[in-house]
A and B are shown apart, each in its own frame.
Chain A
Amino acid sequence: NSKVIQTPRYLVKGQGQKAKMRCIPEKGHPVVFWYQQNKNNEFKFLINFQNQEVLQQIDMTEKRFSAECPSNSPCSLEIQSSEAGDSALYLCASSLGGAGNTLYFGEGSRLIVV
């Protein structure tokens, strides 16, 4: 069973609505990643954090997407105005950091935009 906890497992939103997903990383893991997996099972890296600081993010994330990892609270990924193309499985992963340390994934939050 995954030690990375993602909620909700499923959410359905109308176009233009906000969609917010949460992630509790594995205890002691300072690095958190968000990925988007589309219906063709293709993965897209969105953003990652080390503690509360953003390490890397793609252009898409800088516009309609926002994410944060506050101390003592779950990390979150929010889409300000959902579009049909945002329908996907959003995966959170955590790690101790560094190339030799494994990323462990949660079960994902499946967003359906109608």
Chain B
Amino acid sequence: DAKTTQPDSMESTEGETVHLPCSHATISGNEYIYWYRQVPLQGPEYVTHGLQQNTTNSMAFLAIASDRKSSTLILPHVSLRDAAVYHCILRVVGQGGSAKLIFGEGTKLTVSS
């Protein structure tokens, strides 16, 4: 199964821009890069995803390396509500388009005031 590597934890301060790295050296050409975040006692929340081009939405900017072997989730002006475990996941296309997610351990982001 495809795998990703992320730092166990990162610390930040409110208002900062945070860069969360993810390595996926064995990514295949048809695998999407997904980011989810999760706080205790809740299910994962979708943040963003991409295939090859950088993407942006109201939550984050996703920068994907040209060789697709790594990506960085950029969170502008973080607040206390952004404290969570951030998962970088590869979306594997299986039989019948089942496309399950393969989760890693994620990066625990701590935000201080």
Q: Which residues of A contact B (CB under 8 A)?
A: 2, 4, 6, 31, 33, 35, 41-43, 45, 48, 50, 55-56, 89, 91, 93, 95, 97-108, 110
Contact = CB atoms under 8 A, between A and B. Distances in A.
Contact of B95 (A35, A55, A100): A55
A43 B31 CA distance: 19
A48 B101 contact: no
Interface string B84-104: 010000011111111111110
- Interface centre among A43, A89, A102, A104, by most chain B C-beta atoms within 10 angstroms, is A43
B42 A107 contact: yes
The residue in B32, B38, B44, B106 that gathers the most chain A C-beta atoms within 10 A of its C-beta is: B44
Interface of B: 30-32, 34, 36, 38, 41-46, 49, 51, 85, 91-103, 105-106
B14 to A, nearest CB: 24
Contacts of B42: 107-108
Contact of B43 (A2, A31, A55, A95): A2
Q: What 4 A-B pairs come out closest when comparing CB atoms? A: A43-B103, A105-B43, A55-B98, A99-B99
Nearest to A6: B43
B46 A103 contact: yes
Nearest to A53: B96
Contacts of A108: 42-43
Nearest to B46: A102
B82 to A, nearest CB: 18
A102 B31 CA distance: 13
Contacts of A110: 41
